[in-house]
Structure 1
């Protein structure tokens, strides 16, 4: 989008290739959900994450809904979700009539806390949705073991985690189904859009039908199962195909910028700032770069300072249990200490793949000036 004094949190990185493929799709006349680019995008993404199957959907939220419907999760079933995540994770559970059960997060990793997760399992638990928040991997290996031992499903919310791997294996491929988002602020984008990945052929066939009104694959207007329209258009998929040609490059830019942030900030005020903890074998894609202040009383002031200097930021997501839409699913006496600490101490810095070195210098310089002003007043 070009450089200006304003530094956005994130922005799409589009090239001439996206325009070329989009024009080809338009010229073909296949501008809705039929067309070659949809299948090409699915195959390209499945290959990238090393999954047998992939299903495009119109957005990541409906991808979660579809995953739950594919696994026949519904009224009265309990689904465990982390208490700090984008609201879509819990909304999808509510949309199918199930009950979201909130597990606390580890304030260091900002992903689901294993002890809290274990404590939430009941005989009504049908699934868990670990979230790889901001690109950092949840301990999905251990979560998977626990779920298998207790006989319920794992749906990975990898909306923010294109490029994140654990021991070389891409997140989203550990559980029964993985769900990704391609919203405009994601590492790769189709404007709006999402993708399910899985290895089960039966679930794949079922999901393809449900995504398209429940139509039989052999008889278009014969409804084999429940379904609705969750399809991605050929135009969106054309953009997605072009983005996939640069996905490795875009992820590497995110990771490189995270390293630069740490280098600059650690030399300024290492005693004031900490970072999200990563598992030993985790390759964090750093969709958004997060810093945590050791003094929670400064976080709002830092946010205001950055915004006043034309730097867009984002606070850590509000804990779900305190929000009007979800508070009924949690006891008022329940304490989510990890969730509170993450929200009160954390902030996301600009993380666009178009971010320049000079912009990172400006951001870290502004943060430095903030701490200098605090020191002068004390």
Structure 2
């Protein structure tokens, strides 16, 4: 078996995280409680938002964020309304749209940034469009300023799937904070890890309160007496078990909250390390006509390093992957490639344009390798040598 020299993901835990876990064990409170609440407050402060709601995954964060918009009586989002999405993303960008009775409208992406453009979104808007769901791919912010302006111009809701891009910024503002809500993942392979976990951030009070209710059965238990979701009965016993929204059970556990607090303290250093590696990566592949690398927009947090095979390597991804694997370099497709080419599409209510040429190129010739918070100069040199040797 080949020894892994350049893994896709590694742990950023040390004694602080294990101490946080032990404190929860000794305290005896394992279900969602004060550690989760403290992490939410600290995360919102770090992102510069009024609120953050923790859930059990980034996938659940997407579901809760979109559901909060659907149940907001002021937004008028109804079954059959359209949500514009990029053709390249992960499955759980799309599934909540289907699960909530909305219609997906796919648009192509830009081959350089890997994100959808203002022009592509503008051309896709129809009278049925209600939401632009932008994805910041592999740490790289989309044109969030332009998309925000476009959404405002057409009276649309802008939401961000920022699960891969914690710590990315655009004009000094955190990605994930340009729309009604932003979502984040704290799964093992992401910028911070709470084992499993995700968050929704928002400045909007209804979105916050609805997310709090939706993550726990749609009840009023955690809502203030005066809230925007539904009036409480005034009887404390009844209000513990009063259901007002068709919610879910996607609560996190106390260990994840405690881990998040420890990881959040390290976030600036974790992102700085990734950006230092990115500078080396960009330098190593500048002018290489065999691959096309992601063009940074704003300040990426560099989730991973994408390689779009070009020139003599175009059409040879399987061969490249074999060579990388033989050298101990782990790789994987660029997120989900062109998601519309998956068999699951027969179950989704979606409009797919005839031309998704950029997404197809990414699907057929794209891959990415890992980035880490620690120096990986030798790993990048190995990567260059393998690519140059094919």
TM above 0.5, yes or no, is yes
Q: 1:178 to 1:304 in 2, by over 3 A?
A: same
Instruction: Tell me which moved more, 320-329 or 9-18.
Output: 320-329
1:155 corresponding residue in structure 2: 159
Is 1:79 the counterpart of 2:83 in the alignment? Answer: yes
1:245 corresponding residue in structure 2: 265
1:314 corresponding residue in structure 2: 332
Q: 1:210 to 1:333 in 2, by over 3 A?
A: closer
Secondary structure, counterpart of 2:315 in structure 1: helix
- Contact 1:131/1:158 (<8 A) preserved: yes
Say which of 205, 211, 214 aligns to 1:210. 214
Secondary structure, counterpart of 2:24 in structure 1: helix
1:259 offset after TM fit, Å? Answer: 1.2
1:129 offset after TM fit, Å? Answer: 0.8
Q: How does 1:275-294 map to 2 (within 5 A)?
A: 275-279=293-297, 282-294=298-310
Q: How does 1:33-44 map to 2 (within 5 A)?
A: 33-34=32-33, 36-44=34-42
Render the CA deviation track for 1:105-141: whole Å, top value 9, x for unaligned: 1111110132221222122212111000001111111
2:28 corresponding residue in structure 1: 29
Q: Distance in 1 between the 2:8 and 2:40 partners?
A: 28
1:167 corresponding residue in structure 2: 171
- Contact 1:56/1:196 (<8 A) preserved: yes
Say which of 336, 356, 376 aligns to 1:356. 376
Q: TM-score normalized by structure 2?
A: 0.88
2:66 corresponding residue in structure 1: 68
- Contact 2:86/2:134 (<8 A) preserved: yes
1:188 corresponding residue in structure 2: 192
Secondary structure, counterpart of 1:314 in structure 2: coil
Instruction: Tell me which moved more, 179-188 or 343-352.
Output: 343-352
Q: Distance in 2 between the 1:117 and 1:195 partners?
A: 26
Render the CA deviation track for 1:162-182: whole Å, top value 9, x for unaligned: 111001100110000000011
CA RMSD of aligned residues (A): 1.8
Q: 1:270 to 1:157 in 2, by over 3 A?
A: same
Q: 1:50 to 1:80 in 2, by over 3 A?
A: same
Is 1:18 the counterpart of 2:17 in the alignment? Answer: yes
Render the CA deviation track for 1:40-98: whole Å, top value 9, x for unaligned: 11111111111111000111111111111111145212111100111111112111121
Which ranges in structure 2 are unaligned for 5 or more consecutive residues?
71-76, 226-238
- Contact 1:18/1:243 (<8 A) preserved: yes
1:375 corresponding residue in structure 2: none
- Contact 1:59/1:192 (<8 A) preserved: yes
Say which of 354, 367, 389 aligns to 1:334. 354
Q: Which runs of 4+ in 1 moved over 6 A?
A: none
Q: Distance in 1 between the 2:90 and 2:368 partners?
A: 14
1:333 offset after TM fit, Å? Answer: 6.9
- Contact 1:156/1:178 (<8 A) preserved: yes
Q: 1:332 to 1:144 in 2, by over 3 A?
A: closer
Which ranges in structure 1 are unaligned for 5 or more consecutive residues?
371-378
Q: Distance in 2 between the 1:10 and 1:74 partners?
A: 39
1:355 offset after TM fit, Å? Answer: 5.6
Q: 1:330 to 1:96 in 2, by over 3 A?
A: closer
Secondary structure, counterpart of 2:159 in structure 1: strand
Say which of 249, 270, 273 aligns to 2:288. 270
1:113 corresponding residue in structure 2: 117
Q: Distance in 2 between the 1:332 and 1:264 partners?
A: 37
1:294 offset after TM fit, Å? Answer: 2.1
1:354 offset after TM fit, Å? Answer: 4.5
Secondary structure, counterpart of 1:130 in structure 2: strand
- Contact 2:94/2:104 (<8 A) preserved: yes
1:346 corresponding residue in structure 2: 366
- Contact 1:31/1:235 (<8 A) preserved: yes
Secondary structure, counterpart of 1:126 in structure 2: strand
1:37 offset after TM fit, Å? Answer: 1.1
1:201 corresponding residue in structure 2: 205
1:238 offset after TM fit, Å? Answer: 0.8
- Contact 2:216/2:248 (<8 A) preserved: yes
2:317 corresponding residue in structure 1: 299
